[in-house]
Amino acid sequence: MLEYKKFGRIACFLFFTIILIASNGCAPKTENHEYFTIGALLPLTGGDSDEGFRALNGLYLAKKEINENGGILGKKLDVIILNDRGDEEYIIRQYNALKERGAIAIIGSSYSRVTIALAKEAEKDGMPIISPTASNPDVTKNRRNVFRAIFIDDYQAEVMAYFARNSLNAKMAVVLSNESTDSFKRINEVFIESFTKRGGRIIAIEPYLSKNDFAGILRKYTTNPPEIIFCPEDYVTAAELINNVYEAGFTNTRILGSDAWDGLLAYIKYPQATKNAYYSAAFSFDDQDAKVVQFVRKYFDCFSQMPLSGSASAYTCMYILAEAIKKAGNANKDAIISAIKENEVDSIIGRIRFDENNNPHTNVYIIHLKDGEYSTYEKLRL
C-alpha cells in the first residue's frame, strides 16, 4: 500500500491551500447566496497531521462529487478547511474564524481531546458539529448539536474483547495502559470488563507513560510470552509496540489495538512483525460493497493511495451534512441539527442512524496487518 511521504503531505497541503484561497478569497463573509459553506477543522501540522490529511482527502473528494452532481438545493458546496494544530486552545480561534466566514456547520476534529474543546464552544452557538473519528463518548454526550461518524470507544472495546475470546479463542491477556490519555484508559476498562465476562482472564495491567517503556515491560514476559497484548494507542506508538514485540521474539503473541492504529504501517520497521497484529476500524478498503468499491477506485485515482478510516469517515460526514441540508431546505442551524437526527444515510461505512447521544451504531472491521498490508479479518456488529 502506498503511504504519504513528507514532501507529498506538504505538496498536498499547499495545493489545497491554493484551491481554498482561490475559491473563497481572503475577506470575511457572512452570507453567500450561491454557496452553502461548510467549515472543517483538522490537524494539518504536528504529530497528528497524517490523520488530518487523510480526512482532508476525504472531504475534498466528497465536495467534488457533490458539486459535480448539482450541489445542494441548486447551490454549490463551499468548504473552508483550517488547521487546528491538534491544540485545544487554537481550535477555538479557528472555529471563530470559520463562523466569521459564514460556515453553517463544522466537520472536525480528528481526535477526541480537541473535539471536546470544540464541542464545548460550539454548544454556546448551537453550531452543528460532526467529527469523522473522535470516539470518546464525552464528545457528544448531552450535546444536541454534536455528532460523530464513527463508533464510540466503549463499543469498539466490547467488539475487541469479543474478537479476542470468540475469534482468536484467547483465554488470557496482558493489557498495556497509557496513563496519560483518558480515552485509551476508558477503552482498556471496557475491554477488561468485557473480556472477563466472556470467560477470559487478565493476567496483568501494565501502565506506561511513553513508547520507551515497552521494552522493559516485555522483558517481564521473556520466559512466558503473553497470549494476547491489548493496547489502544495512536498509530506511531502502536507501531513501536509491534516493533518491540517482534524484537523480543514473541512469535505467537497476538497484539490487539483500537481504531487509532490506522496508519501505523508507515512506522513499522519489520513487515513480518505485523502477522499477529489486529485492530478495530470503522472502514476497510477491501470491503466488496459496491459503494465502497466505487469510493476506493475514485480515491486511488485522485490521491494514488488507498483510503483508511479517517478518509472514509470524513467523506461520510460531508454526505451526512449534505443530506441534512437537503432535508432542512435551508441553512438554519437548528433545522440542520434536527435533520441529522432524523435522517438515515446509507454510507460507505454502513447505515448511519444516530441514537439519543448522537452516536451511530455501525459495523466494526477487524483489520489484520497481514504481510505488511491492511486486510479485513472479520466484520463484526454486536
pLDDT of 26 reads 37
Residue 21, CB half-sphere, CA atoms under 13 Å: how many?
Answer: 6
The tens digit of pLDDT for each residue in 229-281 reads 999 999 999 999 999 999 999 999 999 999 999 999 999 999 899 999 999 99
pLDDT of 32 reads 55
Say whether pLDDT at 13 is over 80.
no
Beta bridge partners of 72: 75
What are the cell numbers at 306? Answer: 488507498
Q: Name the superfamily (CATH) of residues 153-281.
A: Response regulator (3.40.50.2300)
Q: In the chain, what percentage of residues exceed pLDDT 70?
A: 91
pLDDT of 19 reads 41
What CATH number matches the domain at 6-150+288-362, 3.30.2320.80, 3.40.50.720, 3.90.850.10, 3.40.50.2300?
A: 3.40.50.2300
The amino acid at residue 100 is E
The predicted model scores a pTM of: 0.91
The set of residues, in sequence order, having a beta carbon less than 8 Å from that of 134 and lying 6+ positions away, is 109, 110, 111, 112, 115, 116, 148, 150
Q: Where in the chain is the domain with CATH 3.40.50.2300?
A: 6-150+288-362, 153-281
Say whether pLDDT at 20 is over 60.
no
Q: Label residue 182 by pLDDT band (50, 70, 90).
A: confident
Please answer whether residues 1 and 265 qualify as being in contact, where contact means their C-beta atoms are separated by less than 8 angstroms.
yes
Q: Residue 38: name the closest of 1, 2, 75, 80 by CA.
A: 80
pLDDT of 333 reads 97
Say whether pLDDT at 30 is over 50.
no
The tens digit of pLDDT for each residue in 269-320 reads 998 999 999 999 999 999 999 999 999 999 999 999 999 999 999 999 999 9
Instruction: Classify residue 146 by burial, with Cβ atoms within 10 Å: 0-12, 13-18, 19+.
Output: buried
Please answer whether residues 147 and 127 qualify as being in contact, where contact means their C-beta atoms are separated by less than 8 angstroms.
no
The tens digit of pLDDT for each residue in 186-237 reads 999 999 999 999 999 999 999 999 999 999 999 999 999 999 999 999 999 9
**Phi-psi group of 73: left, alpha or beta (phi > 0 → left; psi -120 to 50 → alpha; rest → beta):** left
Average pLDDT of the chain to the nearest whole number: 92
Q: Label residue 2 by pLDDT band (50, 70, 90).
A: very low
* Higher per-residue pLDDT: 371 or 149: 149
The tens digit of pLDDT for each residue in 100-151 reads 999 999 999 999 999 999 999 999 999 999 999 999 999 999 999 999 999 9
Residue with cell string 497484548: 229
The tens digit of pLDDT for each residue in 164-180 reads 999 999 999 999 999 88
